Amino acid sequence: MSGSRPVDKLFNRRAVVAAGGGGVLFSGLIARLFQLQILDGERYQAIAKENSVRLDLAPPLRGNILDRFGRPLAAHRQAGRISIVREQAGDVAAVLKEVARHIDLSEARQQQIVAETRRQAAFQPVIVRGELSYEDFAKMSLRAPEMPGILVEMAATRSYPRGRDFAHVLGYVAKASQSDLERLSDGTTRDEAKAIRRLFHHPNMRTGRSGLERYAEEWLRGEAGFRKLEANAAGRIIREFDAPELAPKRGRDIHLTVDAELQRVAIDRFGEESGAAVVLDIETGDILAFVSTPAFDPNDFVNGISQADYDLLRFSDRFPLYHKAYDGTYPPGSTFKMVVATAALEAGVINPNERVFCNRRYRFGNNTWHCWKPGGHGSVNMHQAIKGSCDVYFYETARRVGIEKLAETARKFGFGQRWELGLTGGRSGVVPDDAWKRENRGEPWYEGETLNVGIGQGQVSASPLQLAIMSARIAAEGRIITPRIIGNGPRPDADIPLDEPLDGDIMRRMKAGMFGVTSEGGGTAYRSGDLGLGGPRLAGKTGTSQVRRISATERRSGILKGENIDRKLRDHALFVAYAPADDPKYAISVIVEHGEGGSRTAAPIARDIIAAAIRMDSARAPVYTATAAVSGNRPSTGGT
Amino acid sequence: MAGIRARGSNFSRTNIFAQFTGLPWGLILLLCAMAVIGVATLHSATFTNPEEAGLPLKHAERFGAAFAVLIIAALVPLKWWMTLAWPAYIATLTLLVGVEFFGVTGGGAQRWLQVGPVAVQPSEFMKVSLTLALAAYYHRIWNDNSGGLLVHIPALLLIMIPAALIFRQPDFGTTLALFASGGILIFLAGLWWRVISAVVIVAVASVPLVYLVVLEDYQRERVDTYVAQLTGAQVNVMDDGYQIEQAKIAIGSGGWTGKGYMEGTQAQLDYIPEQHTDFILTVLAEEFGFLTTTGVLIMWMVILGLGLVIALRASSLFGRFLAAGAVMTVAFYILFNVAMVLGLLPVVGVPLPFLSYGGTVMITTAASFGLICSVHLGKDELLSIG
């Protein structure tokens, strides 16, 4: 020790005293440690073995999805489940053998579980069987106390009370796969990604795989929390502490604009047919029914679907996995004729009173185009041409308009662009023009092809949603209509494609034509005009979407139809409509795949659905307050 | 030896190298070993919770930064430290006042000051600054007949001003630590025994007054549960007592050798709040048992003892007080924390240096040992005044 001054000596003395004091305190701590760990050790070891209080990750309950009147479309049900905790089970294989004496549990599955428990931390439960029957649940609840490490509990499982009805809109949830985890943790920090991984490994946790469930995953998910539990040596939870500050936060609900009952009626009306229907509220753009049938049952997917069942869906010739209303694009057939007529009037290439003579043949270049009507329509003006769906009139009109102008008008109606609804999927269809053809087919546009487009065949294609929007816009005399299916929920973040108001006078002419189709002599759907409601009538337009080319030989010998032709080759039947005709409220599009004639199969279905909508007043005020209108780059309609 | 570093201001390259090799490496290696134990224990405390999975690595990274702070502080000549003492004290005090007005509230107390991306806790810096200031003060003022009482009044004020500010945040633990380590320096400065006795008597007598008047409700509750568990009264599991009780079960069930690394049922079941920060010792005690835990405590005693030896060997009063003060700062962290975890003191929220997860305590401890090392390098300097 340095320093010989008195001050140094004093400091040294005091430092030794302080060090001594510190030594005493440290010794005291060690003595206390000795007391706790050695003297009282056995007692504490016993306590530690007996009961353990722990915090278990508690996954949040997913938000519900409801229809416009609050009917649940996606909710939860309770299902029984057995799981095993390695730490408490000791010999997992032996315990599983015991379990297998009471419930069905294959040897292979037992080994699988043993392997799984080894991969996880000793205290983490591994699911032995989910979806227990009531008898199994009761049996196991009774036996569990004798089986160490076995937990029998009820857990909330996603359920879709309306089964197939909203399969494509809602999509479904499933256990997160590796690729799901990667997608979910995309763009998060490392710590967040870890939290997501841990959460989604929880046996109760599901993630949206398709449809709204996938699109609105974050909105619906909620926040994880913890359960504070006390368990005894056998792993049985003997107490759950009330810990509201730790509770998981439930996901948010979503209200759709659809009317589940209308959807039901629509699907029933299709019967065995395969097809799609879209019903729009013209006033608000609310999608009231969004039908694609047949469909799969999303409930089958929640706990994993078997390969065999999945293959049945995958290889069915009615394509139940396919969202025909949103992802399906079809040549619009004659329903496209209003677009052609609008383009002609906009371009001023035809006077609505001008007459075109139809003798069933239209010659252009070295080819001949045909009208559908045997014998032709004779001399028709625009109104008569729409009413009778005269092909020759529209070959001539389309040729005069030209493909570029035709494409421009079609885009104004919303064709050729994807409408963002907040669901997965959605196709834009094709509005062909010269640039499109050069890019996609590597050759220039030929004028002859314009004639095909003139009757909605050839390269042009549209989804049932787009056709419903077209119908609604005609009914609304040109006003812009933005379709939406999320009434209250996450706002679709993509820009809604821009479209422009259409000329009111032209639209009134189209309405008159569509009224003629269903309500005047010579209309192609004259029988479907009466809604059977005593007053309101339906206005619409039929269409037939050609699936195959008709050869000249076949045309001469009689075009094959109905039972004489393979279903796959039959034409699709289309119908677009709105009602009531004098004060339009609902717009609809219907496609019946391989249904052959629009007037024969599609129109009656459309009529019955729209009549049901009027009868049930589907467009009445919903129970939610709508999410604020989507802002974006849309032009204002001028303060109406 | 003495010739090499006669003047700290001769700060040439060869000098730095000589100084570097002259560092008390035994002490430094023991500190590194302690940090390794900290990372290992943290790994066990956090591995079952993926949300905390990055913590052990972050702890190691922080130790890297702290180690740099230690070496830099050590290589700063002692004389510079004496010059820096007062500005540092004033600056930290300003920051404390700043917290009062612009502070960020965290965990119910206004302790942090947001500086860009980092949240700093000036109350922690004050532990180091106060030691510097007291050392500088006694170095200047002390003479042979310094037993006089009045000499210690300014020292007491130096402690009380920041202590009052920190108490208001409120941060009871740090307030106590300032009084404890500052008080020890006054004690080392030769405060008369009869005054010490009087202070102790008054302090003990005023305990009921402090309890009733000074403490906030939640602080009072902690003291209540503390007394309750000391006397063995039944405590409600949902109280604060729950934490202490669970900590005792974890520690007690460790026995002589523990349940094995990452095998502690209590630790792994995630039931002890703050088990990776203030209650990290529960993990160590449960999984490694009495022998290892005692070993770690003895290791800390050796480290602190080595620091005290450096204090005693220093020639200058500044060096002696500085090293002793730094030792006391760290010693109180450890004593408070361990006593708290073992249920001997109320839960006041003091971390265990190098073992608890937390950046501030790591830096404070490293800075303290940096100062001790600086004293070691400058042990032959007298630092005469004037």
pLDDT tens column, A442-451: 999 999 999 9
pLDDT, tens digit (0-9, with 9 covering 90-100), for A575-606: 999 999 999 999 999 999 988 877 788 999 99
Sign of the CA dihedral with A286 first, then A288, A293, and A297 last = positive
- The question of ipTM being above 0.90 is answered as no
Encoded amino acid at B144, one letter: D
Question: Quick one: pLDDT at residue A44?
Answer: 83
Min distance B95 CA to chain A CA atoms (Å): 31
pLDDT, tens digit (0-9, with 9 covering 90-100), for B156-211: 999 999 999 888 877 777 888 899 889 999 998 888 888 888 888 998 888 888 88
The stretch A321-325 carries a mean pLDDT of: 92
pLDDT, tens digit (0-9, with 9 covering 90-100), for A274-302: 999 999 999 999 999 999 989 999 998 88
**Which of A13, A51, A53 is the best mutation test for B, with the most CBs of B within 10 A?**
A53
Confidence of residue B266 (pLDDT cuts 50, 70, 90): low
Residue B267 scores a pLDDT above 90? no
Inform me whether the C-beta atom of residue A23 falls under 8 Å from chain B C-beta atoms: yes
Task: Name which of A10, A33, A194 is nearest B51 (Cβ-Cβ).
Answer: A194
Confidence of residue A496 (pLDDT cuts 50, 70, 90): low
The stretch A548-557 carries a mean pLDDT of: 65
Min distance A54 CA to chain B CA atoms (Å): 5
Question: Quick one: pLDDT at residue B368?
Answer: 95
The stretch A260-266 carries a mean pLDDT of: 95
**Which of B269, B306, B316, B379 is the best mutation test for A, with the most CBs of A within 10 A?**
B269
Question: Quick one: pLDDT at residue A184?
Answer: 86
Please give the torsion angle defined by the CA atoms of residues B189, B192, B198 and B203, in that order, rounded to the nearest 10 degrees.
Answer: 10
Distance, in Å, from the CA atom of A121 to the CA atom of A119, rounded to the nearest integer, reads 7
A residues 240-259 lying closer than 8 A (beta carbon) to B: 241
**Which of A1, A4, A11, A40 is the best mutation test for B, with the most CBs of B within 10 A?**
A11
- Cβ of B266 and A52 within 8 Å? yes
Q: Give, for A543, the enclosing helix (H) or strand (E).
A: strand A539-545
Residue B109 scores a pLDDT above 60? no
pLDDT, tens digit (0-9, with 9 covering 90-100), for A79-102: 888 888 887 787 888 889 988 888
Question: Quick one: pLDDT at residue A230?
Answer: 75
Select the more confidently predicted residue: A401 or A138.
Answer: A401
Burial B210-243 (b: 16+ CB within 10 A, else e): eeeeeeeeebeebbbbbebbeeeeebeeebbbbb
Which residues from B are below 8 Å from A45, CB to CB?
252-253, 255
Question: Quick one: pLDDT at residue B1?
Answer: 39
Residue B50 scores a pLDDT above 80? no
The stretch B125-142 carries a mean pLDDT of: 90
Lowest mean pLDDT among A267-271, A307-311, A358-362: A307-311
Confidence of residue B7 (pLDDT cuts 50, 70, 90): very low
Count other C-beta atoms under 10 Å from residue A490's C-beta. Answer: 17
Residue B218 scores a pLDDT above 90? no
The stretch A446-469 carries a mean pLDDT of: 93
Question: Quick one: pLDDT at residue B199?
Answer: 86
The stretch A180-206 carries a mean pLDDT of: 78
Select the more confidently predicted residue: B8 or A634.
Answer: B8
Distance, in Å, from the CA atom of B91 to the CA atom of A201, rounded to the nearest integer, reads 50
Question: Quick one: pLDDT at residue A517?
Answer: 92
- Cβ of B252 and A45 within 8 Å? yes
Looking at chain B, the whole-number percentage of residues with pLDDT higher than 70 is 79
Which residues from A are below 8 Å from B54, CB to CB?
190-191, 194
Q: By three-state DSSP, how is residue A250 classified?
A: coil
Residue B8 scores a pLDDT above 60? no
Do B282 and B16 form a contact (C-beta atoms < 8 A)? no
Confidence of residue B265 (pLDDT cuts 50, 70, 90): low
- What average pLDDT does the structure give for chain B? 82
pLDDT, tens digit (0-9, with 9 covering 90-100), for B301-320: 999 999 999 999 998 999 99
Inform me whether the C-beta atom of residue A179 falls under 8 Å from chain B C-beta atoms: no
Residue A629 scores a pLDDT above 50? no
Min distance B214 CA to chain A CA atoms (Å): 27
Helical axes B240-252 vs B280-313, angle rounded to 10°: 80
Question: Quick one: pLDDT at residue A549?
Answer: 66
Please give the torsion angle defined by the CA atoms of residues A385, A390, A392 and A397, in that order, rounded to the nearest 10 degrees.
Answer: 40
Closest CA to A614 of A288, A233, A187: A288
Min distance B300 CA to chain A CA atoms (Å): 10
Count other C-beta atoms under 10 Å from residue A171's C-beta. Answer: 25
Which residues from B are below 8 Å from A4, CB to CB?
none
> Which domains does chain A show, CATH number per domain?
326-528+539-573 (3.40.710.10)
Q: Give, for B294, the enclosing helix (H) or strand (E).
A: helix B280-313
Do B369 and B63 form a contact (C-beta atoms < 8 A)? no
Confidence of residue A634 (pLDDT cuts 50, 70, 90): very low
A residues 99-158 lying closer than 8 A (beta carbon) to B: 121-123
The stretch A208-229 carries a mean pLDDT of: 89
**Which of A1, A4, A7 is the best mutation test for B, with the most CBs of B within 10 A?**
A7
Residue A117 scores a pLDDT above 60? yes
Please give the torsion angle defined by the CA atoms of residues A403, A409, A410 and A414, in that order, rounded to the nearest 10 degrees.
Answer: 150
What are the residue boundaries of the structural domains of chain B, listed by start?
23-377
Lowest mean pLDDT among A444-453, B235-244, B361-370: B235-244
Residue A39 scores a pLDDT above 70? yes
Distance, in Å, from the CA atom of A289 to the CA atom of A588, rounded to the nearest integer, reads 9
Q: By three-state DSSP, how is residue A205 classified?
A: coil
pLDDT, tens digit (0-9, with 9 covering 90-100), for A150-170: 888 888 889 999 989 999 999
Q: Which residues pair with A129 in a beta bridge?
A: A82
- Cβ of B324 and A37 within 8 Å? no
Confidence of residue A50 (pLDDT cuts 50, 70, 90): low
pLDDT, tens digit (0-9, with 9 covering 90-100), for B11-21: 555 677 888 88
- In B98-215, beta strands by DSSP E: 104-106, 109-115, 118-120
Block residue for tokens 């049996």: A139
- Residue in B closest to A54 by C-alpha: B271
Do A246 and A227 form a contact (C-beta atoms < 8 A)? yes
Residues in chain A: 640
- Cβ of A18 and B49 within 8 Å? no
Measured in degrees and rounded to the nearest 5, phi and psi for residue A509 equal: -65, -40
